Chains A and B, each alone.
Chain A
Amino acid sequence: MSAPPCAAPSSDYEEEILESEPALGDSEFSRRTFVKAAGILSAGVATGVPRIAAAESAQAAAASTPQTIAVTLKVNGKTESLTLDTRTTLLDALRDHLDLTGSKKGCDHGQCGACTIILDGRRVNSCLTLAAVANGGEITTIEGLAQGDNIDDLSPVQAAFLQHDAFQCGYCTPGQICSATALLEEQKHGTLSTVSFETGHTSNPQLTDDEIRERMSGNICRCAAYPNIVAAVRAAARSVQA
Chain B
Amino acid sequence: MNPFNYQRATAPEEAIHAASARDAKFLGGGTNLIDLMKDGVEHPATLIDINHLNLTQITATPSGGALIGALVRNSDLANHEMIRRNYPLLSHGLLSGASPQLRNMATTGGNLLQRTRCYYFMDTAFPACNKRNPGSGCAALNGFNRIHAILGTNGGASEACIATNPSDMNVAMAALNATIHVQGPKGKRTIPFADFHRLPGKTPEIDTNLKPGELITAVELPTPKFAKHSWYLKVRDRQSYAFALVAVAAGLEMDGNTIKSAGLALGGVAHKPWRSLEAEKSLAGATATPEAFKKAADLAVAGAKPYEHNAFKIELAKQSIVRALTLAAQGAQA
A6 touches B198 (CB 8 A): yes
B12 at the interface (CB under 8 A from A): no
User: With A62-B44, A215-B100 given, can you name 20 additional A-B contacts, CB distance below 8 Å?
Assistant: A2-B302, A5-B152, A6-B199, A8-B206, A18-B43, A20-B125, A65-B3, A67-B3, A87-B1, A109-B38, A122-B75, A124-B105, A130-B30, A179-B101, A182-B100, A186-B100, A191-B79, A194-B96, A197-B92, A213-B240
The complex places the Cα of A7 from the Cα of B206 at a distance, in Å, of 11
Determine how close the nearest CB of chain A comes to the CB of B118; give it in whole angstroms.
15
B53 at the interface (CB under 8 A from A): no
The complex places the Cα of A218 from the Cα of B240 at a distance, in Å, of 9
Question: Which of A9-17, A154-162, A166-174 is the interface stretch?
Answer: A9-17
The complex places the Cα of A194 from the Cα of B103 at a distance, in Å, of 13
B49 touches A194 (CB 8 A): no
Known interface pairs A197-B95, A197-B333. Does A128 touch B30 (Cβ–Cβ under 8 Å)? yes
A192 at the interface (CB under 8 A from B): yes
B91 at the interface (CB under 8 A from A): yes
B4 at the interface (CB under 8 A from A): yes
Q: Which of A91-131 contact B (CB under 8 A)?
A: 108-110, 113, 116, 122-125, 128-130
Determine how close the nearest CB of chain B comes to the CB of A35; give it in whole angstroms.
11
Determine how close the nearest CB of chain B comes to the CB of A162; give it in whole angstroms.
23
B300 touches A217 (CB 8 A): no
- Measured as residues with beta carbon below 8 angstroms from the partner, the interface class of chain B is 35 or more
Chain B residues with CB below 8 A from A86, complex form: 3-6, 47
Determine how close the nearest CB of chain B comes to the CB of A39; give it in whole angstroms.
10
Q: List 11 interface pairs A-B (beta carbons < 8 Å), by A numbering.
A: A2-B278, A2-B300, A5-B152, A9-B210, A19-B40, A36-B2, A59-B2, A64-B3, A67-B3, A87-B3, A124-B104
A1 touches B303 (CB 8 A): yes
The complex places the Cα of A19 from the Cα of B91 at a distance, in Å, of 38
The complex places the Cα of A58 from the Cα of B44 at a distance, in Å, of 10
A133 touches B78 (CB 8 A): no
Contact with B6, one of A1, A69, A129, A214 (Cβ below 8 angstroms): A69
Determine how close the nearest CB of chain B comes to the CB of A61; give it in whole angstroms.
5
A62 touches B209 (CB 8 A): no
Known interface pairs A109-B35, A130-B6. Does A193 touch B275 (Cβ–Cβ under 8 Å)? no
Mark B1-21 against chain A: 1 for CB-CB distance below 8 A, else 0.
111111010000000000000
Determine how close the nearest CB of chain B comes to the CB of A204; give it in whole angstroms.
12
Known interface pairs A85-B3, A124-B101. Does A19 touch B133 (Cβ–Cβ under 8 Å)? yes
A202 at the interface (CB under 8 A from B): yes
A132 at the interface (CB under 8 A from B): yes
The complex places the Cα of A9 from the Cα of B212 at a distance, in Å, of 9
Least CB separation from B214: chain A residue: A9
Determine how close the nearest CB of chain A comes to the CB of B151; give it in whole angstroms.
8
Contact with B34, one of A36, A130, A213 (Cβ below 8 angstroms): A130
B159 at the interface (CB under 8 A from A): no
The complex places the Cα of A100 from the Cα of B134 at a distance, in Å, of 43
B300 touches A61 (CB 8 A): no
A62 touches B34 (CB 8 A): no
Determine how close the nearest CB of chain A comes to the CB of B119; give it in whole angstroms.
14
Contact with B95, one of A5, A133, A179, A194 (Cβ below 8 angstroms): A194
Q: Which 5 A-B pairs have the closest CB atoms?
A: A218-B99, A62-B45, A5-B199, A217-B240, A21-B40
Mark A45-62 against chain B: 1 for CB-CB distance below 8 A, else 0.
000000000000011011
Determine how close the nearest CB of chain A comes to the CB of B256; give it in whole angstroms.
22
Chain B residues with CB below 8 A from A179, complex form: 100-101
A66 at the interface (CB under 8 A from B): yes
Chain A residues with CB below 8 A from B38, complex form: 23, 108-109
Determine how close the nearest CB of chain A comes to the CB of B306; give it in whole angstroms.
16
Contact with A192, one of B91, B205, B241, B276 (Cβ below 8 angstroms): B91
A1 touches B104 (CB 8 A): no
A8 touches B104 (CB 8 A): no
Known interface pairs A16-B133, A179-B100, A218-B102. Does A62 touch B205 (Cβ–Cβ under 8 Å)? no
Q: Which of A126-142 contact B (CB under 8 A)?
A: 128-130, 132-133, 135
B313 at the interface (CB under 8 A from A): no
Determine how close the nearest CB of chain B comes to the CB of A33; give it in whole angstroms.
8
Mark A193-224 against chain B: 1 for CB-CB distance below 8 A, else 0.
11011001010000000000111011100000
A242 at the interface (CB under 8 A from B): no
Known interface pairs A2-B274, A19-B40, A197-B95. Does A133 touch B30 (Cβ–Cβ under 8 Å)? yes
Q: Which of B91-143 contact A (CB under 8 A)?
A: 91-92, 95-96, 98-102, 104-105, 124-125, 127, 132-134
A63 at the interface (CB under 8 A from B): yes
Chain A residues with CB below 8 A from B151, complex form: 2
Contact with B84, one of A7, A85, A113, A202 (Cβ below 8 angstroms): A202
Determine how close the nearest CB of chain B comes to the CB of A119; give it in whole angstroms.
8
The complex places the Cα of A196 from the Cα of B92 at a distance, in Å, of 9
Contact with A200, one of B212, B270, B332 (Cβ below 8 angstroms): B332
Chain B residues with CB below 8 A from A230, complex form: none
Least CB separation from B212: chain A residue: A12
B291 at the interface (CB under 8 A from A): no
The complex places the Cα of A122 from the Cα of B75 at a distance, in Å, of 10
Chain B residues with CB below 8 A from A181, complex form: none
The complex places the Cα of A233 from the Cα of B101 at a distance, in Å, of 17
